[in-house]
Structure 1
Amino acid sequence: MKKLLFIFTLCLCTIGISWGQTVFFSETFGSVSATTSIATHETNNGFDNDDATFTGTADIRNTNPSSGYTGASGLANVFFTNTVGKYLLIEGINSSSYSNISMSLGHHKNTTAGNNELSIEVSSDGTNWNSLTYSRPTGTGTAVWLLITPSGTIPAAQNLRIRFTQTSTGPQFRIDDIKLTGTAASTPTITVNPATLSGFSYVQGSGPSSEKTFTVQGSNLTADINITVPTSPAQHYEISKTSGGTFSSSLTLTQSGGTVSETTIYVRLKAGLSAGDYNNETITVSSTGATSQTVTCSGTVCKPEPSNHCTNFTAANGTDPKTQITLSWTDATGSIIPDGYLIKAATGDYSNIVNPVDGTAETDETLVKNIATGVQTATFSNLNSSTTYYFKIFPYTNSGTNINYKTDGTIPQISWTTASGPTIVEIILPQYIQGKNVTNNQRLPWACRLRLENLTASATYRYFGQFVVSTDDASTNGAGIGWFVNSDNTISRNTSVGMSTEGAYSEFTTDANGSYTGWFMGEPSGNTRFTPGNNLYYRIMLNDGAGGSSVTMRLTTANSFKVINFGTSDDVNQGTFLYGVSRSPAKNFVFVYDNVEGTGRPIAGSIIEDDGLDLSNVTQILPSYKTNVDKVDGAWGVIIPNSVGAKGFSGIKRIESRNLSDGDLYAQATDSDGVWPSGVNTVNPTGGDVTPIVLSENDATLPVELSAFMAYINSQGGITVMWATQSETGVNGYYVNRATVNDLSAAVRISSLIPASNTSQQQVYVYNDNELYEPGTYYYWLEIQDIDGVVSYYGSRSVTFGGSGNNVTPEIPLVTGIRSIYPNPFNPSATIMYELEQPANVNIDIYNNRGQIVRSFAIGQKEKGSHKLLWDGTDNSGSACGTGIYFIKMQAGKETFVKKAALVK
Structure 2
Amino acid sequence: MKKIFTLITIITLSLIMVSGLAWAENENGNGNGNGNETEPEPEEKFTNPEALTLPASYVFPTDHESTTYPTGMVGWQIGTSCGSVYKICPPTNDKPLFKKGTGTSESFQVYNYKGKIGFLNTDSNDLSIAFAVNTTEKSNIRVKYDIMTIRSPLKRVNMAALQYRIGKDDNTPFITIPESEYIPSDLRQVSGTEPLKTQTFSILLPPECNNQSLVQLRFVGRDMAGSTGIRSSFAINELSIKESQDAYLSMVPSSISGLTYDLSYGPSTAQSIKLNAINLTDNEDIELQVEGDFEISLSEGADYGDAITLSHSSGYINETYIYVRLKDGLERGYYPGSITFNHENKVYPTKILLSGKVEEPLGPGYLVNFEGEDEINGNIKDGKIKLSGLDWEFNDAVIRGHVLDYKEGLRAACLNGKAESSLIMLEDEPNGLGTLRFYYGRHSTHQQVDWKVEYSRDQGATWIQIGELFTCPANDLVQEFRETVDVPGDVRIRINRGVLKYPGGSHGVLCIDDIFLSDYDGEVANYDILPNQEVYIGAHTPTEISGDDFFGANIISAHSEDFTAFPNAKFIPETRGKWELFGNGAAAITLNTENQWFAWVDDGNWNTIEGPFEDEKIHIAINETGTIFEFMTGSGDNPSLPVELSSFTVALNNKGKPIISWTTQSETAVNGFYIYRGTNNILSDAILVSNLIPATNSSLTHSYSFEDTELSEEGTYYYWLNISDLNGHEGFHGPVKQYVNMGDEDAPQIEYQTGFKSIYPNPFNPSANIAFELAEDSEVKIKVYNTRGQLLRSFAPFKHNAGYGSIIWDGKDDSGKHVSTGMYLFRMNIDGKSYHAKALMLK
TM exceeding 0.5: no
Q: TM-score, normalised by structure 2?
A: 0.29
The structure whose RCO (Cα within 8 Å, separation 6+) is larger is 2
- Normalised TM-score (structure 1): 0.28
